[in-house]
Chain A
Amino acid sequence: MIKFHPSPEQLSQFAEGTLYAVESIMVSAHCDMCERCQKRVAAETERLAEDVLETQKIEHHYEFDTMLAGITQLPAAESIRALPVERTQAIELDGRTFPLPRTLQRLADKTGNWSSLVGRLWQAPVDLGNQGVANFIYMEKGGSVPEHTHRGTEFTLVINGEFSDGLNAYDSGDFIFMDGEKTHAPRSDAPEGCLVFSIVDQPLHFTSGLARLINPFSHLFFR
């Protein structure tokens, strides 16, 4: 049962395409797992479309005729239904298979190697170019992170499993948002462990010294 969702504002901005890219990834991946939010985004998109395209002042533009003529000269796109795109659909770890939400499948292709951290934690970085680094983090049963706070904003999506952090208990699909206001100490006691996807929205801070505290699971944190 998913208890933690993006805010209505986040869903709305996501539908509008105005949410930050990294934040959009998290919202999108959450929606892959959450029917409720999927429906809300769909309804919001519909509303926005009506809103945006219901323009009072319709201006013709002199280039439109040329544009129309040009477009209708273009060939129809070939149907490519027969060619499935090869994607990493699941992560194999610890003898288990974790299916990934659609949004994360292409990103998973860019995932680096898993490395072991202290406290029964495993981590694999995902290169987001100049957007910073996201991480897949796997907490074995009993895996934990010392209590800490955040310098930036951190988003975590539970892909599979359960963990708690002294504030709440989280389950698969939960969308967790952390900022400087909160202090927490994640810990997984689920027998199966827990796989999460974690991302920070401030890449500049992330590479600087202090911001190593941003990602609660980052190996930098344990140095």
Chain B
Amino acid sequence: MLVGIPLEQSNSAVKPKECAGEMSEYIVAVAEKRCKKSFARVFGYFAPRLRSYALKQMGNEALAMELVQDTMSNVWQKAHLFNAEKGSPSTWIFTIARNIRFDMLRKLQNRKEDVCSDDLWPVLCEQTADANETSLDEQITLEQIGFLFEALPVKQKAVIEAIYIDGKSQQEVADELEIPLGTVKSRTRLALQRLKGMLNSHD
């Protein structure tokens, strides 16, 4: 035996659902404190289960162990990406294993990197996981601004539109509307103040 951390084997009869809360806490402890003891618990519970899944799927001991190794390494290294609100530990770990299996099989079939699991299931991608999810707060604000924008005085609206929607510089707007730069600046400031005021009064 090479290691000091004993593997827990006593919980073999516990269903994934029944220990979801406990496992979540361990994963959080790994993310926050790099807690090896907590990881050993997670590993002790999931590694044998993953191996059994992998053996069924791959039918090969070496590949099965590779799948367990890669999956659990991801759990250790990317524990900070686990979000208990989005799903249970078993779902998260299963999806990591599924993705690795998908990529392993494609590699074995000598496929080029035409399709990869990240495209299909962005489990471990930080940006993509959140890129499309504008928070509800933000959505409401965007909608409100669109609505309030219409309520701005015509002159202010024209300036805001040119700068924030068309992406022009204040100087460009001044040239275009044939007004002094100072006027563009003050209209911008007034319009933004007004929007801000309207937003606050809407809360």
Residue B120 interfacial (CB < 8 Å): yes
B94 engages A52 (CB within 8 Å):
yes
Q: Give the contacting residue for B91; candidates A45, A61, A63; CB below 8 A.
A: A45
Does A94 count as interface, using CB distance less than 8 angstroms?
no
Q: How many residues on chain B are close to A (CB under 8 Å)?
A: 60
Chain B: CB-nearest residue to A89: B131
Q: Which residues of A contact B51 (CB under 8 A)?
A: 59, 61
Within 8 A of B (CB), among A38-74: 42, 45-46, 48-50, 52-55, 57-61, 63-72, 74
Chain B residues, CB < 8 A from A50: 15-17, 90-91
Please, which residues of chain A bring their CB within 8 A of the CB of B93? 49, 53
B-side interface mostly: helix
A22→B94 CA distance, assembly (Å): 22
Of B12, B48, B126, the residue contacting A64 (CB under 8 A) is B48
Binds A, one of B76-84, B137-145, B147-155, B180-188: B76-84
Q: How far is the CA of A63 from the CA of B126 in the complex (A)?
A: 31
Interface size class of A (residues with CB under 8 A): 35 or more
- Which residues of A sit under 8 angstroms from B117, Cβ to Cβ? 17
B3 touches A85 (CB 8 A): no
CB distance from A26 to the nearest CB of B (A): 10
B65 at the interface (CB under 8 A from A): yes
Question: B69 an interface residue at 8 Å Cβ cutoff?
Answer: yes
Contact at B112–A24, with CB atoms within 8 Å? no
Residues in B with CB closer than 8 Å to A14 are 120
Contact between chains at A53 and B49 (CB < 8 Å):
yes
CA distance A72 to B77 in the complex (A): 9
- Closest residue on chain B to residue A25 by CB atoms: B115
A131 within 8 A of B: yes
A53 lies within 8 A of B53 (CB) = yes
A132 and chain B: residue at smallest CB distance: B114
One digit per residue, 1 when the CB lies within 8 angstroms of any chain A CB and 0 when it does not, for chain B 29-47 equals 0000010100110010011
Chain B contact residues, CB within 8 Å of chain A: 1-3, 5, 7, 9, 12, 15-17, 34, 36, 39-40, 43, 46-53, 65, 68-69, 72-73, 76-80, 87-88, 90-91, 93-95, 98-99, 101-102, 106, 111-115, 117, 119-122, 126-128, 131-132
